[in-house]
């Protein structure tokens, strides 16, 4: 049976890597370290997927601009010290390997920095599977469609033959803005009802369910 998609684009944090708690905790720890208001868990989770500066502006508004560089630096410190111990979601490696062997083009579109994504790809051993990547420090942050559109252009595919897989409304809105199909992962940062409201093609609980959906629909 012929493939419906040529390119499958994955978000990273909260989609491939189980990093939601680490990111939210790093935001909160950075705020405590600078004696700033500490966002609650839900607020910290809602900004996951955005570029770091945009995320911290939303999570910690109304602070002096002079403190923003220190907040970003302290966040990076707290996250990096634990980053190599953050696991992939169960089944992520096997799913990506199967898709690669099946001939799909694979890419990553993430709110991480280029350096952060490179660390994660190298530490996880997944770098060899991805044909292209975009990060929030080299393209406009989600939900702007730039990351997806740049990947589509670089890999010479059509928007109609591209699928986005992500765990946040930022991922799904980026896909909508790029006129790209999307599947939502329910094991990440945003609540099921938030993802459902954006009407992705499917919502799946985990990589086992994603693999089944892809075999039947991709």
Q: 9: part of which helix (H) or strand (E)?
A: strand 7-10
Structure token pair of residue 73: 């630096």
Output the six-digit token pair for 183: 């599947």
Q: Please name every residue paired with 184 in a beta bridge, in sequence order, or none if there are none.
A: 166, 203
Q: Which residues pair with 109 in a beta bridge?
A: 134
- The Cα 188–Cα 213 span in angstroms is 18
Cis (ω within 30 of 0) for the bond into 72? no
Q: Please give the angle made by the CA atoms of 22, 27 and 28, to the nearest 5 degrees.
A: 100
Tokens of 49: 């997927």
**Which residues belong to the active site?**
11, 13
Q: In what order do the strands lie in the sheet with 105-110?
A: 132-135, 105-110, 7-10, 162-166, 181-185, 202-204
**d(C-alpha 176, C-alpha 84), whole Å:** 32
Q: How far, in Å, CA of 66 to CA of 188, rounded?
A: 32
What stretch of H or E contains 205? none
């Amino acid at each position: 049976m012929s493939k419906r998609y040529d390119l499958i684009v994955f978000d990273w944090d909260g989609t491939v890597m189980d990093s939601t708690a680490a990111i939210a905790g790093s935001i909160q720890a950075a705020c405590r370290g600078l004696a700033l208001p500490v966002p609650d868990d839900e607020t910290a989770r809602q900004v996951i997927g955005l570029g770091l500066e945009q995320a911290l502006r939303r999570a910690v508004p109304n602070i002096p601009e002079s403190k923003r560089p220190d907040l970003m630096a302290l966040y990076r410190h707290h996250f990096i010290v634990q980053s190599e111990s953050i696991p992939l979601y169960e089944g992520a490696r096997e799913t990506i390997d199967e898709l690669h062997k099946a001939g799909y083009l694979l890419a990553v579109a993430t709110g991480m920095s280029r350096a952060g994504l490179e660390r994660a790809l190298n530490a996880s051993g997944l770098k060899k599977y991805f044909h292209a990547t975009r990060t929030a420090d080299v393209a406009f942050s989600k939900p702007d469609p730039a990351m997806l559109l740049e990947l589509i252009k670089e890999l010479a595919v059509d928007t109609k033959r591209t699928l986005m897989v992500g765990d946040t409304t930022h991922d799904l809105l980026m896909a909508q803005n790029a006129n790209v199909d999307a599947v939502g992962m329910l094991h990440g940062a945003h609540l099921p009802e938030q993802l459902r409201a954006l009407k992705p093609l499917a919502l799946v609980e985990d990589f086992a369910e994603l693999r089944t959906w892809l075999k039947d629909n991709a």
